[in-house]
A and B are shown apart, each in its own frame.
Chain A
Amino acid sequence: KNQVEQSPQSLIILEGKNCTLQCNYTVSPFSNLRWYKQDTGRGPVSLTIMTFSENTKSNGRYTATLDADTKQSSLHITASQLSDSASYICVVRAAGNKLTFGGGTRVLVKP
């Protein structure tokens, strides 16, 4: 069964600090992996997309990594800002196009 597990479920960090979110998946055959940011009361918005051959991709202060061998991805937030407070969702696409969504990690950045 295709699954996407995210950890931690939630975390609190101080403004200016870094944090790393984890995504482990069992989706096969793998096509790509996206990280989404969901602000409170809004729909999720795509941050990055990772394909099989990509190990690292950055979008501003967000850096995503992918290890296709271990089926793990991480999203690193550098120098966190209050506006980073949101839910971060990992979504994996199988080669047959079906998406499997992780449950998300809720991040709270405190001043």
Chain B
Amino acid sequence: GAGVSQSPSNKVTEKGKDVELRCDPISGHTALYWYRQSLGQGLEFLIYFQGNSAPDKSGLPSDRFSAERTGGSVSTLTIQRTQQEDSAVYLCASTPGGAGTGAFFGQGTRLTVV
């Protein structure tokens, strides 16, 4: 596709359930970021993938959160045993690299834990 695609766009889940959020970056983009944005809050960095390097996981808030990026393309963010405080919009961004390029964002996945 022409842009970064995230799915699902909305997800409502029961507390304690696991969820998987998907991000399809723009083809050829080497870097991929996951962020979350809680209601009324700013962007919170979660994880960063760059090429074949080890991901920067420094932003993951707990061990219930994990992410993978298979084949340098699609990424999945998994949240296990979801809690109500996990409710947020999860944003994915990718960049092709190169100094002149900016980040291309997906529309986000709105996660609601009830």
Chains A and B are bound partners: yes
Interface residues of A (CB under 8 A from B): 6, 9, 31-32, 34, 36, 41-46, 49, 51, 87, 89, 91, 93, 95, 97-99, 101-104, 106
**Which B residues are closer than 8 A to A by beta carbons?**
4, 31, 33, 35, 40-45, 48, 50, 56, 91, 93, 95, 97-100, 102-103, 105-108
Contact between B31 and A97 (Cβ–Cβ < 8 Å)? yes
Smallest beta-carbon distance B47→chain A, Å: 12
B42 touches A87 (CB 8 A): yes
The interface residues of chain B lying within 8 Å CB-to-CB of A91 are 102-103
Contacts of A93 in B (CB 8 A): 99
Q: Which of A44, A93, A106 has the most CB of B within 10 A?
A: A44
User: Given that A6-B42, A43-B4, A43-B105 are contacting pairs, would A97 and B98 also be in contact in the complex, using a CB cutoff of 8 Å?
Assistant: yes
A49 and B102 contact, CB distance less than 8 A: yes
Shortest CB-to-CB span from A86 to chain B, Å, is 13
Distance in angstroms from A57 CB to nearest chain B CB is 14
A51 to B102, CA, bound (A): 12
Min CB gap B39→A, angstroms:
11
For the complex, give the distance between the alpha carbons of A9 and B107 in Å: 22
Residues of A within 8 A of B106 (CB): 43
Nearest residue (CB) in A for B56 is A98
